């Protein structure tokens, strides 16, 4: 068991983490490259930066949107994201691991904060799952991954909570810790290839949409030519 755990925490973790980072860099750069190429093609190169930035900030910190639509869902979703980001990044035990391997660390969450944030994230993940399942419009448009993601994300949180806060025998601890680390590894690998890619692409959305409406000149002739419609009546 210990060997498995060491592998999961060591080489496997490094591999999965590298896949995530490289994968995210890849899609981020592809997005930027696509937007740049489109911008180069566009006839109108003016960009309403003020509007783009203000709308991007509105969604990165969606406080303004709390009371708008589905307020219950919105609040849960935002709080879920808060826990999802803060706990893995600032948990004392996690930062300690980074410190051991990198030689430096960063600020950590106080014990009580970590305790309540983990519990709330578990609670909100369950709420999001049932929210999707029971809401008529959400369930109609949901894919498999939309249901699976809250459940997959639950695994490291539940197992981590058990290991950190409950008294269990060493054997069980090892099992839970292995599941905790492995599920984390799997999540890292999945991130760039699923909708969780929004963690790096979201800030680009408003720019991408703005450029998409910047049409290139002379497309009429080019499309006509490709479709053999030159001279065809309207």
Partner 1 sequence: MLKTNQITPEEKKKAFTSIRKKEINENQKLNVLYHIEDFNVNDRPQRFLEAFAAILKHSNYKMALDHFIRMSAKCSRCATTCQVYQATGDPKDIPCYRSELLLSVYRRHFTMGGLLKGRLSGGGYLTDEKIQEMAESFWNCTACRRCSLECPSGIDHGLITHLGRYILSEIGIAPRALVVSTREQLEGATKNTSAIPVPALKDTLEFLEDDMFEEKSVHIKFPIDVENTDYVFFPAVSDFLMEAETLMGIAAVFTVTGDSWTTGTGYFDGINYGLFYSDRMLERVVKKIDVETKRLKGKNVLIGECGHASRSAKYFLPAYCGGKDAFPVINIMEYTYKIWKEGKLKLNPDVVTEKVAYHDPCNIARQRWIINQPREILKSFCKNYVEMTPNGDENICCGGGGGTVSIDEIRPYRTTVGGKLKADQIRKSGCEILVAPCANCKKQLRELVEDQGIDCQVVGLHDLIYKAIIFDDSQIIKKEDEPETLKKEN
Stretch that binds partner 1, among 90-98, 105-113, 167-175, 194-202 (CB under 8 A): 194-202
Contact pick of 69, 112, 169, 171 for partner 1 (by CB under 8 A): 69
Could you count the other beta carbons within 10 Å of the beta carbon of residue 111? 12
Closest CB to partner 1 among 165 and 195? 195
216 binds partner 1 (CB under 8 A): yes
Cα atoms in the 13 Å half-sphere on the side-chain side of 188 = 20
Helix pair 144-165, 111-134: axis angle to 10 deg: 150
Helix pair 2-9, 11-41: axis angle to 10 deg: 20
Is the Cβ–Cβ distance between 10 and 184 less than 8 Å? no
To partner 1, the closest distance from the beta carbon of 233 in angstroms equals: 7
Closest CB to partner 1 among 56 and 174? 56
Closest CB to partner 1 among 137 and 171? 137
Site for partner 1 in 138-177 (CB under 8 A): 138, 140-143, 146
Site string for partner 1, 86-125 (x = CB under 8 A): ----------------------------------------
Helices (H) and strands (E) in the chain, counts: 12, 0
To partner 1, the closest distance from the beta carbon of 39 in angstroms equals: 8
Site string for partner 1, 35-54 (x = CB under 8 A): x-xx--xxxxxx-x--x---
Q: How far is CA 65 from each of CA 31, 60, 160, rounded to the nearest angstrom?
A: 26, 11, 32
137 binds partner 1 (CB under 8 A): yes
To partner 1, the closest distance from the beta carbon of 85 in angstroms equals: 15
Torsion over CA: 197, 200, 205, 211 (sign): negative
Reading the block at residue 222, the tokens are 């080019």
Closest CB to partner 1 among 10 and 217? 217
CA angle at 50 for the pair 46 and 56, rounded to the nearest 5°: 110
55 binds partner 1 (CB under 8 A): yes
Q: How many residues bind partner 1 (CB under 8 A)?
A: 63
Closest CB to partner 1 among 98 and 215? 215
Task: Output DSSP code: residue 91.
Answer: -
Separation of alpha carbons 89 and 77, rounded Å? 19
To partner 1, the closest distance from the beta carbon of 180 in angstroms equals: 25
């Amino acid at each position: 068991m210990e060997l498995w755990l060491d592998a999961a925490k060591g080489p496997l973790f490094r591999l999965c983490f590298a896949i995530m980072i490289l994968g995210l860099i890849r899609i981020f750069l592809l997005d930027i490259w696509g937007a740049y190429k489109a911008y180069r093609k566009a006839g109108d190169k003016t960009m309403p930066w003020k509007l783009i930035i203000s709308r991007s900030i509105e969604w990165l910190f969606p406080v303004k949107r709390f009371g708008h639509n589905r307020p219950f869902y919105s609040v849960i979703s935002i709080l879920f994201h808060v826990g999802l980001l803060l706990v893995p990044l600032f948990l004392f035990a996690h930062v300690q691991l980074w410190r051991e391997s990198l030689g430096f660390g960063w600020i950590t969450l106080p014990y009580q904060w970590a305790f309540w944030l983990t519990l709330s994230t578990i609670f909100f993940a369950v709420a999001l799952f049932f929210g999707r399942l029971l809401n008529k419009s959400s369930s109609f448009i949901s894919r498999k991954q939309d249901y699976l993601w809250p459940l997959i994300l639950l695994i490291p949180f539940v197992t981590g909570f058990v290991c950190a806060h409950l008294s269990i025998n060493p054997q069980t601890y090892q099992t839970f810790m292995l599941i905790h680390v492995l599920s984390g590894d799997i999540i890292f690998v999945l991130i760039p290839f699923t909708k969780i890619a929004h963690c790096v692409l979201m800030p680009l959305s408003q720019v991408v949409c703005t450029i998409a409406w910047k049409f290139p000149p002379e497309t009429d002739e080019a499309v006509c030519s490709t479709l053999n419609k030159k001279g065809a009546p309207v």
